[in-house]
Homo-oligomer: A and B are copies of this chain.
Amino acid sequence: MSRCVIADRIGRMGRWEPNASGRLRAAAMELYLERGYEQTTVADIAQRAGLTARTFFRYFADKREVLFAGATDLQGHLVSALERAPASAPPMAAVAAALYAAGDVLVDREYSRKRQTVITANAELQERELIKLASLSAAFAGALRGRGVPDAEASLAAETGVAVFRVGFERWINGPDERPLAEVMKESLEQLSGLTAVRLSS
């Protein structure tokens, strides 16, 4: 039996669909932008993707997770880059390595921009995004402590890193030209270094 026949049979049994997760993601984004997140149901998304709701739930817990499943993977990738930074790297250099690594995962600027539009339009999604970012900060701090960075410094470097991540990400999606995210992150970090080099009166 040829591969195509097998694929076709499995397809008809509803057990396998080529790139189902990507199709669901694209369909969800289309609908969220067309009619709004609140007004979109899982059934709508599945239908637009030419799949069943049952298939949807094989990939995502609910319609919100279509937008946030990637954030968990991103956090793992960033933290692992932080951990792999040379032992001699100072805390902010290790955080910088994590921020540059975001560019490996976030490559589709158009998708990221659409996602941001959907999130900005909905309070519940904004909250979820804030929680994800707080979780990223906690993960950075934990990884820094694991490198022997004292508690206080670890928290500060982690929070600052997430602040730069937020600003850099926004610059990347809204910038006039298409640039790699890592480049924008580097620019933001350098700008931060300039901003904080001032004398602060008490």
Contact = CB atoms under 8 A, between A and B. Distances in A.
Interface in A106-126: 126
A9 B162 CA distance: 56
Contact of A190 (B100, B162, B200): B200
Interface residues of A, number: 43
B163 A159 contact: yes
Contact of A191 (B156, B170, B191): B156
Q: How many copies does the complex hold?
A: 2
A19 interface: no
Contact of A90 (B91, B156, B198): B198
A96 B202 CA distance: 8
A127 interface: yes
| A interface majority secondary structure | helix
Interface in A149-202: 152-153, 155-157, 159-160, 162-164, 166-167, 170-171, 182, 186, 188-193, 195-202
Quick one: which of A97, A163, A197, A199 has the most chain B CB within 10 A? Answer: A163
Contacts of A126: 131, 134
